[in-house]
């Protein structure tokens, strides 16, 4: 019988995906990996500054990462130490489903988990409505102000829910745009997630007077994992 692989995750959403599917596989995760609650594994630093020595000492069979979340020099250092690294790329929902299955089945040797099928079903039940709803600006940071641009996973989710990202056609994925330009963009909605910047009712909406603000859970907007099961309903409720 082949021993179960030892896995280190450098991405919070991938950590949740592995932990929910097969809790015993994870031996390490970043300081930012807060789901599922009570996860008891060795912490290996941040997504952008993982401790290579700590990871190597864990002797993982596999490190799972993401091309946007993690830095190539860190991944190269892990490969140089003889560790297999599986790097995901997730910029669309269908890509998220394919990459999650690749990671769990091919990388970890698991069966397709029930939650992944449930997530596919939940999103398949959302009628296609791109461009038929509201036009939104989606800030992700302030000081300086940054917004969702083109080719982003979060933008694809919003499009599937009928919310057109005003800056979704830009080549730059996370452009810096000043608030006065955002207010003059023609948007009729501002979507404010609570990560990576923690926008709240008291921090963000005041910069867009007269524009409805939708405060959304960033985990449902930007994470690709078990949260995708509840994401359609949770986002639709927040965007009303």
Q: What is the model's pLDDT at position 240?
A: 83
Low-confidence ranges of the chain (pLDDT < 50): 1, 130-131
Q: What is the model's pLDDT at position 181?
A: 94
Q: What is the model's pLDDT at position 224?
A: 96
Q: What is the model's pLDDT at position 130?
A: 47
Rounded to the nearest 10 degrees, what angle do helices 114-124 and 93-101 cross at? Answer: 170
Q: What's the predicted TM-score (pTM) here?
A: 0.93
Q: What is the model's pLDDT at position 2?
A: 52
Query: Cα–Cα distance between 68 and 48 in angstroms, integer?
Result: 10
pLDDT digits (tens, 9 = 90+) for 4-25: 799 999 999 999 999 999 989 9
H helical segments located in 58-162: 72-80, 93-101, 114-124, 153-160
Q: What is the model's pLDDT at position 1?
A: 32
Q: What is the model's pLDDT at position 152?
A: 97
Query: Cα–Cα distance between 123 and 81 in angstroms, integer?
Result: 40
Q: Which of 6, 105, 10 minimizes the C-alpha distance to 67?
A: 10
Q: What is the model's pLDDT at position 23?
A: 87
Q: What is the model's pLDDT at position 3?
A: 65
pLDDT digits (tens, 9 = 90+) for 104-151: 999 999 999 999 999 999 999 998 664 467 999 999 999 999 999 999
């Amino acid at each position: 019988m082949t021993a179960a692989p030892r896995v280190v995750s450098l991405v919070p959403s991938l950590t949740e995906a592995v932990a929910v599917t097969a809790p015993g596989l994870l031996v390490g995760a970043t300081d930012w990996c807060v789901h599922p609650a009570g996860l008891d594994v060795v912490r290996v630093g941040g997504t952008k500054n993982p401790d290579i020595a700590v990871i190597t000492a864990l002797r993982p069979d596999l490190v799972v990462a993401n091309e946007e979340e993690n830095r190539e020099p860190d991944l190269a250092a892990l490969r140089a130490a003889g560790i297999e690294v599986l790097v995901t790329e997730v910029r669309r929902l269908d890509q998220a489903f394919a990459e999650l299955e690749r990671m769990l089945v091919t990388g970890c040797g698991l069966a397709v988990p029930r939650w992944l099928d449930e997530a596919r079903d939940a999103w398949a039940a959302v009628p296609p409505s791109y461009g038929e709803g509201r036009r939104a600006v989606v800030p992700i940071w302030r000081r300086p102000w940054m917004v969702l641009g083109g080719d982003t996973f979060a933008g694809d989710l919003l499009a599937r829910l009928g919310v057109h990202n005003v800056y979704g056609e830009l080549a730059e994925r996370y452009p810096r745009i000043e608030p006065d330009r955002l207010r003059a963009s023609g948007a009729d909605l501002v979507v404010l997630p609570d990560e990576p910047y923690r926008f709240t009712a008291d921090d963000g909406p005041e910069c867009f007077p007269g524009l409805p603000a939708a405060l959304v859970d960033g985990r449902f907007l930007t994470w690709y994992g078990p949260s995708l099961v509840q994401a359609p309903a949770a986002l639709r409720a927040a965007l009303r």
